[in-house]
Structure 1
Amino acid sequence: MLETLKKPGRFCWNGLVTHDVDGAKQFYSELFGWQMEDTVCGEMSLTILSVDGDEIGDIMKMPEDVGETPSMWGGYVTVEDVDLSAARAVKMGGAICVPAQDIPDCGRFCVIKDPQGAMLSLFSHSK
């Protein structure tokens, strides 16, 4: 990951959650020329997306328990402390959709919803 994306307040990652991982991989590799590498992170299988060797995001399978929820892209913004930023978002009228949790060998994230209902992931990098 580019070091500049590790600065707080910057979008640092984009993740696609989809019911059709193989179809998404074919579509985006042909559309943008993204390089793709299948990997496992903790207990999750995912595909890392890269451009010219720089990791930019991932594709992962939609959980089975969400039914017909459409595939969606989600952005991640770098923060210094996920837990403090999530608590601040709640005080400002937002909500926590996915509580803060660690991603082994990567960092910590959570998903919040702003007062207008838009969802966004917060991410702090492992030190």
Structure 2
Amino acid sequence: MTVDMKTIGNSGWVEFSGPNIAEAQEFYAKVIGWNIAPVPAGDMQYNAIMLEDGPIGGFSPIPSDKGGWIIYITVVDVNTATQTAKDLGATIEVEPHDVPSVGRQSIIIDPQGGRIALITYESMMA
């Protein structure tokens, strides 16, 4: 079964961020068998996790991050969803912002400490 990553409420993307993505990529390639390939991402280095149908996630170098995974949940409107989360007690780690050729995203920490990203894809905003 294939679920479109743009389906509202779907966890359409996973991303590892941390100080040593080369080490993380090698680890997960060996453990899971992922094929990891560089993809265009503006001025940033970005490597995508590739399956037969295309990318499902990626690795983002964030030197200050201890290293960890984040799930991107597709929402109708990132600004509204982020504000609703804040109103319900979430901490906004990364305010809503545009990602060129991708869409608009934010990162929240829910009242229990769970960290997720909210995303509205560019094609959904047209």
Say yes or no: TM over 0.5. yes
Q: In the alignment, is the contact (CA less than 8 A) between 1:96 and 1:111 conserved in 2?
A: yes
Distance in structure 2 (CA, Å) of the matches to 1:25 and 1:53 = 20
Answering whether residue 73 of structure 2 is matched by residue 77 of structure 1, we say: yes
Q: TM-score, normalised by structure 1?
A: 0.87
- Of Structure 1 and Structure 2, the greater strand share is in 1
Corresponding letter in the other structure for 1:106:
V
Distance in structure 1 (CA, Å) of the matches to 2:110 and 2:34 = 31
Unaligned runs of 5+ in 1: none
75, 86, 91: which one aligns with 2:87: 91
Identify which range, 80-89 or 45-54, moves more after superposition: 45-54
Unaligned runs of 5+ in 2: none
Number of aligned residue pairs: give it.
Answer: 122
Measured after TM superposition, the shift of residue 88 of structure 1 is 0.7
- C-alpha RMSD of the superposition: 1.5
Answering whether residue 43 of structure 2 is matched by residue 43 of structure 1, we say: yes
Paired position in structure 2 for 1:53: 53
Measured after TM superposition, the shift of residue 3 of structure 1 is 5.5
Corresponding letter in the other structure for 1:11:
S
CA shift digits 1:47-91 (9 cap, x unpaired): 01012232110012123xx2xx42111111000110010011111
Identity %: 27
CA shift digits 1:81-122 (9 cap, x unpaired): 100100111111112110111111111100011111221100
